[in-house]
C-alpha cells in the first residue's frame, strides 16, 4: 500500500500524476508567492538601502558631489546601512551603497562618487 500524497500547501489528497505537488493551480500559485517574498527584516533593510541609493544617485545626477551631512539626513538617508566598506588607512573609510560611495570630508561634508560595478 502506498502512502497518500498531499498538497504541499493545503494538505488535500492528490489525485493524478505521481510527481504532482499541488491539488490546484491556485495552491501552486499561492505556495510560490508566499516563498517568493523575503522575510520582513530583509525587506526592511532592502528598502533602506534602495532609498539611500536613490538619494546618492540624485546627488550624482545633479552634480552634487560634496553635500552636508544634515542635508542627506533631511532627505531620509540612513548612515547605519551600507553594502560594503573600503578601509583606507591614511584617509577616512569609504562606504558603499551599491555603485555609489560616500565618505566624510572636512567638517560635516560628505563626498559622493559613482563607480562602475564589476561583475
Sheet (strand 94-97) strand order: 66-68, 109-114, 100-104, 94-97, 84-86
Q: Which secondary structure element, helix H or strand E, spans residue 85, and what is its range?
A: strand 84-86
pLDDT tens for the chain, residues 1 to 119: 467 889 988 888 898 888 899 999 998 888 888 777 667 788 899 999 999 999 999 998 988 889 999 999 999 999 999 999 988 777 778 999 999 999 988 888 999 999 886 65
CB-based contact 103:93 (threshold 8 Å): yes
Q: What is the pLDDT of residue 38?
A: 67
pLDDT for the residue 11: 87
The structural domains of the chain, with segments of one domain joined by +, span 1-37, 40-114
Looking at residue 119, what is its pLDDT?
Answer: 57
Residue length of the chain = 119
What is residue 2's predicted lDDT score, i.e. its pLDDT?
61
Give the per-residue pLDDT at 96. 93
Closest CA to 81 of 115, 107, 39, 53: 53
Closest CA to 51 of 81, 77, 83: 77
pLDDT at 116: 83
Amino acid at each position: 500500500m502506498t502512502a497518500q500524497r498531499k498538497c504541499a500547501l493545503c494538505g488535500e489528497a492528490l489525485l493524478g500524476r505521481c510527481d504532482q505537488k499541488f491539488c490546484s493551480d491556485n495552491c501552486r500559485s499561492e505556495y510560490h508567492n508566499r516563498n517568493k517574498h523575503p522575510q520582513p527584516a530583509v525587506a526592511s533593510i532592502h528598502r533602506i538601502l534602495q532609498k539611500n541609493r536613490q538619494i546618492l544617485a540624485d546627488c550624482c545626477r545633479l552634480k552634487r558631489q560634496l553635500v552636508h551631512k544634515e542635508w542627506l539626513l533631511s532627505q531620509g538617508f540612513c548612515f547605519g546601512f551600507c553594502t560594503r566598506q573600503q578601509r583606507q588607512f591614511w584617509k577616512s573609510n569609504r562606504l558603499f551603497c551599491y555603485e555609489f560611495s560616500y565618505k566624510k570630508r572636512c567638517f560635516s561634508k560628505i563626498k559622493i562618487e559613482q563607480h562602475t560595478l564589476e561583475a
